Amino acid sequence: QVQLVQSGAEVKKPGSSVKVSCEASGGTFGNYAISWLRQAPGQGLEWIGGIIPIFGTANNAQKFDGRVTIVADESAGIVSMDLSSLTSEDTALYYCATEPTNSPWQTFDSWGQGTLVTISS
C-alpha cells in the first residue's frame, strides 16, 4: 500500500489560488490513481477529482470545472492540486487518497494526513 504525505496548512485570501501537494512515501504511485477530496469543518466528504499518474489523465467533479487543475510528476512521486477563485466555502481539510486501478471496485484505500486550507480576508 502506498503511504501519502501532504504539504502543510495554507491561509489564502478570497479570490486567490492554492496549491496542495501529495507525495508517495516510496517515491512512486505504482498502479494507483490519486484522488483529491475535501471535508469542510464539521461536514461530510466531497470528491473533487483525480488523476492516474502513469498516464497523466485527470478528471474532476463538474462543480469544480474551470477552477481545479490536478497534475502528476510520476518520476518524483508527487501529485498536486491547484484550486483557484477561492471563497470562504473552500475552507476545508483537503485529502489525497489512493484508488487501485487493478480492481473492478473503486475505493479510497489509503489517505494522506490532510491539509487545512483556510480562506480569510
Partner 1 sequence: DIQMTQSPSSLSASVGDKVTISCRASQTIGSHLNWYHQRPGKAPKLLIYAASSVQTGVPSRFSGSGSGTDFTLTISSLQPEDFATYFCQQSSKTPYTFGQGTKLQIK
Residues lying near partner 1 in the complex (CB under 8 A): 35, 44-47, 59, 61-63, 95, 97, 105-109, 111-114
Smaller CB distance to partner 1: residue 13 or 41? 41
Cβ at position 18, least distance to partner 1 in Å? 19
Smaller CB distance to partner 1: residue 66 or 121? 66
CA-to-CA distance for 121 and 110, rounded, in angstroms?
A: 34
Region class of 66: left (phi > 0), else alpha (psi between -120 and 50), else beta? left
Cβ at position 75, least distance to partner 1 in Å? 26
**β strands within 8-121, DSSP E:** 10-12, 18-24, 32-39, 45-52, 57-60, 68-73, 78-83, 92-100, 110-111, 115-119
Cβ at position 95, least distance to partner 1 in Å? 6
Smaller CB distance to partner 1: residue 78 or 93? 93
Angle at CA 105, nearest 5°, toward 92 and 74? 60
Smaller CB distance to partner 1: residue 43 or 88? 43
